[in-house]
């Protein structure tokens, strides 16, 4: 009506009714639906090529809502043996007490996933590329394996974003996002999302309808300002991802040639075991690069010495970040099959000048070696 080119932040918690049960605008109460959140959900559904999207207060809130919509006590889930530490913690501490058990498997190996499935398996979880080891899983093959046993395939698409990879088109049933990362893109909002396709059913019911009910019933929704910030981030997703990828490719190649680096984990490198699958299912290999150094001391020294790369958890923002997964983002996986190597450093390659990024990594690695 106003012609505003930007959707408004609707802060109202409630909406006037013209008569009892006669909604004026279709809106009733802001937990159930809010116009700003609807705008984000419509945008995410369109980007992922899904029927419906649901925005939440965090990535983990999205995951929890999905899991308690689809699963019941007694069900079994196959989870990746390399995944975001908080996802593992959700299964190991929350869902386990709720009577859902899980088996970790290498999701880059479809045979290993099939072998881990039981008659009680309702869901296969996959992250590709994975956090923090940058493993690549074949979404179409995993979808076929899951569907053969009547299970759903969930893909955490946080690292790739819908710009680089669209799991629903490859056969996945549900896409999960931490919109805190690339979708928001500016390190100023925590959020999560689920996107589902048309035909997906759980217990014979359309999953999209069940999620509408559970999003409202569980209430872990994205607030209007948070929804607006993610929407704003999504406007530049394509250009940001192109630059993230260009710089990450250069960082990976540069680090591979550095004598202090034992191994570079990046799906765009020809030697990566998932390079062919990544080339098939992703537009480009993404903005995350992990490296393995001589030992934990060398990894901690690199984290301590960068100046352009800020030492911090999280990823996917315009600024470059460095972190030590074993002691930071993945500390909750210590002692589990998802434990990550102590010599690992994870880089979120940002949008700064590439020469500055390469020079920063060189001075940090050379300084660490000299120390």
Ligand X SMILES: *Cc1c(COP(=O)(O)O)cnc(C)c1O
From residue 101, how far is each of 90, 98, 340 by CA, in Å?
A: 11, 9, 22
CB atoms within 10 A of CB 257: 8
Of 156, 173, 197, 226, which one is the catalytic site residue?
156
156 is catalytic: yes
The two three-digit tokens of residue 110, written as one number: 């479809």
Q: Phi-psi region for residue 342, left (φ > 0), alpha (ψ -120 to 50) or beta?
A: alpha
**How many DSSP H helices and E strands does the chain contain?**
12, 16
Q: Provide CB contacts within 8 A for 131, sequence distance 6+.
A: 82, 83, 84, 158, 159, 288, 329, 346
Of 122, 181, 305, 346, which one is the catalytic site residue?
181
149 is catalytic: no
CA atoms within 13 A on the CB side of 92: 19
Site size for ligand X (CB under 6 A):
16
DSSP class of residue 352 equals S
Compute the least distance from the CB of residue 62 to ligand X, in Å: 8
- Nearest CA to 221 out of 37, 95, 40 is that of 37
Stretch that binds ligand X, among 175-183, 210-218, 255-263, 270-278 (CB under 6 A): 175-183
Among 65, 92, 128, 131, the residue binding ligand X under the rule CB under 6 A is: 131
Stretch that binds ligand X, among 10-18, 81-89, 219-227, 279-287 (CB under 6 A): 81-89
29 is catalytic: no
The answer to whether 89 and 335 are in contact (CB under 8 A) is no
By CB under 6 A, tell whether 306 contacts ligand X.
no
By CB under 6 A, tell whether 181 contacts ligand X.
yes
Among 127, 138, 197, 343, the residue binding ligand X under the rule CB under 6 A is: 127
By CB under 6 A, tell whether 87 contacts ligand X.
yes
By CB under 6 A, tell whether 137 contacts ligand X.
no
Binding mask 249-278 for ligand X (x = CB under 6 A): ------------------------------
31 is catalytic: yes
Compute the least distance from the CB of residue 192 to ligand X, in Å: 5
From residue 205, how far is each of 29, 85, 279 by CA, in Å?
A: 25, 31, 35
Site for ligand X in 6-65 (CB under 6 A): 58-60
| Catalytic residue IDs | 31, 84, 156, 181
Residues binding ligand X (CB under 6 A):
58-60, 84, 86-87, 127, 131, 156, 158-159, 178, 180-181, 190, 192
């Amino acid at each position: 009506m106003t012609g505003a080119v930007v959707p408004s932040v609707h802060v109202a918690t409630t909406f006037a009714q013209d008569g009892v049960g006669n909604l004026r605008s279709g809106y009733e109460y802001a937990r159930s639906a809010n116009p700003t959140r609807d705008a984000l959900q419509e945008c995410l559904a369109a980007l992922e090529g899904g029927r419906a999207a649901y925005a939440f207060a965090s990535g983990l809130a999205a995951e929890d809502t999905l899991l308690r919509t689809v699963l019941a006590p007694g069900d079994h889930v196959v989870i990746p043996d390399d995944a975001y530490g908080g996802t593992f913690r959700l299964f190991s501490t929350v869902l386990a007490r709720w009577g859902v058990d899980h088996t970790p498997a290498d999701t880059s190996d479809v045979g290993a996933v099939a072998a881990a499935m039981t008659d009680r398996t309702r869901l296969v979880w996959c992250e590709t590329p994975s956090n923090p080891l940058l493993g690549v899983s074949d979404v179409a093959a995993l979808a076929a394996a899951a569907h053969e046993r009547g299970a759903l395939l969930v893909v955490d698409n946080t690292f790739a974003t819908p710009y680089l990879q669209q799991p629903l088109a490859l056969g996945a049933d549900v896409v999960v996002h931490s919109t805190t990362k690339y979708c928001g893109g500016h390190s100023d909002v925590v959020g999560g999302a689920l996107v589902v396709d048309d035909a997906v059913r759980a217990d014979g019911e359309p999953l999209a309808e069940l999620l509408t009910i559970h999003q409202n019933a569980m209430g872990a929704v994205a607030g209007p300002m948070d929804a607006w910030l993610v929407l704003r981030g999504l406007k530049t997703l394509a250009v940001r991802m192109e630059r993230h990828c260009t710089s990450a490719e250069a960082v990976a190649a540069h680090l591979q040639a550095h004598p202090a680096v034992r191994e570079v984990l990046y799906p765009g490198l020809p030697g990566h075991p998932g390079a062919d699958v990544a080339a098939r299912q992703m537009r480009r290999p993404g903005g995350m690069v992990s490296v393995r150094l001589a030992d934990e001391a060398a990894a901690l020294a690199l984290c301590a010495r960068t100046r352009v790369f800020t030492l911090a958890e999280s990823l996917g923002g315009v600024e470059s970040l460095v972190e030590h997964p074993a002691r930071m983002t993945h500390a909750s996986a210590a002692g589990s099959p998802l434990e990550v190597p102590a010599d690992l450093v994870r880089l979120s390659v940002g949008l700064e000048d590439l020469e500055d990024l390469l020079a920063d990594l060189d001075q940090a690695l050379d300084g660490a070696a000299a120390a």
